[in-house]
Amino acid sequence: MKILVTGGAGFIGSHVVDTFIANGHEVVVVDDLSTGRRSNLNPAATFYQIDIRSDKLGEVFEKEKPQVVDHHAAQMDVRLSVVAPPLNKKVNVLGATKFIELARQHNDELFIYISTGGAVYGEPEYLPCDENHPINPICPYGASKHTVEHYLYMYHELYDLDYVVLRYPNVYGPRQDPHGEAGVVAIFTGLMLNGEQVIINGDGDQERDFVFVGDCARGNLLALTTENSNTIFNLGEGKPTTVNDVYRELKQITDYQLSADHGPAKVGETRRIYLEAKKAAEELDWQPSVGLNEGLTETVEYFRKAEAGV
């Protein structure tokens, strides 16, 4: 099967590409490398360096004729979405709907869309959040990702385009960028390995659902063949882990000698969120297989090797 993966040079997208290729699929990657890295690209994939809003995308579809689109590319910085909502909309809504329309025009078999379980629900009314939890995002990022879910439902009803939506938790693992705006695991790991000061935003008791990147990549592979399409799946551990928990685990793994400082909490971030993934277990045959300590250990080892140039 030929699959077009947007954002396939990014942290999560590149792992998805690797998983597809390892399972015998042909992959085309579209990525503008604004946040993705050329070094993440699987050499077996065909690569196009194009912005997801570009009119040149039609030429890619004409030439490559993908059967499936797997849409990972996004503006995924919650804090940037708060200060620059128009940019967030242009990338996350206009970019995604351009691919949905191209998939319709070319009669693609399936559209896999990556949404966010950490931002669409807002402050939860109950925990863990299942797929039927009310949608009340408190940041433009969450609102934009949910908007595209409605487009997919509409395109299925109007044009019979099949889709699977995967709402990701907090994903961590090798290749995550420890510089600038990135996941807390990558940021803490980078600072700890360099002996630099770790700053925890707020009190650190914020609760999150951390899932290893390889488990999320496997969710995409399962979405290719599921008979339960045209629906939404949470991917998650289903139990809370605080930022302080992550700090303590990484401090032990890295033998970090400093104590953390605390800074102000960030606007637009949900205080407590973790996801019920029972539906994914029952209908997608997915559940996480890598525990937090194992995943953090593998992540630290990756960054150690990267620092050493291995």
Has residue 310 got a pLDDT over 60?
no
Which one of 141, 151, 155, 168 is the catalytic residue?
141
In 208-236, which positions are buried (b, 16+ CB within 10 angstroms) versus exposed (e)?
bbbbbbbbbbbbbbbbbebeebeebbbbb
The C-alpha R_g of the chain, in whole angstroms, comes to 19
E-assigned strand segments in the chain: 2-6, 26-30, 46-48, 68-71, 110-116, 163-168, 170-172, 199-201, 207-208, 210-212, 231-234, 241-242, 261-263
Tokens for 114, please give them.
């990556």
pLDDT of residue 92: 97
The residue whose two tokens read 């025009």 is 105
pLDDT tens track for 289-301: 999 999 999 999 9
Count how many residues are written for the chain. Answer: 310
Which pLDDT band, with edges at 50, 70 and 90, does 306 fall under? Answer: confident
Q: Span 101-127, mean pLDDT? A: 96
Q: Span 195-203, mean pLDDT? A: 96
pLDDT of residue 136: 96
pLDDT of residue 222: 98
Has residue 179 got a pLDDT over 70?
no
Report all structural domains of the chain as residue ranges with CATH numbers, in order of start. Answer: 2-171+211-234 (3.40.50.720), 172-208+239-275+291-308 (3.90.25.10)
pLDDT tens track for 52-90: 999 999 999 999 999 999 999 999 888 899 899 999 999
pLDDT of residue 170: 94
**Alpha-carbon distances of 29 from 13, 26, 65, 184, 269, rounded to whole Å:** 9, 10, 13, 27, 31
pLDDT tens track for 12-36: 999 999 999 999 999 999 999 999 9
Has residue 135 got a pLDDT over 70?
yes
pLDDT tens track for 230-285: 999 999 999 999 999 999 999 999 999 999 999 998 877 789 999 999 999 999 99
Among the residue ranges 95-109, 152-166, 296-310, the one predicted with the least confidence is 296-310
Quick check: 254 and 300 in contact, CB under 8 A? yes
Among this protein's residues, is 141 annotated catalytic?
A: yes
Residues with Cβ < 8 Å from 285, sequence gap 6 or more? 222, 226
Question: The pTM is what?
Answer: 0.95
Which pLDDT band, with edges at 50, 70 and 90, does 182 fall under? Answer: low
Which pLDDT band, with edges at 50, 70 and 90, does 308 fall under? Answer: low
pLDDT of residue 4: 98
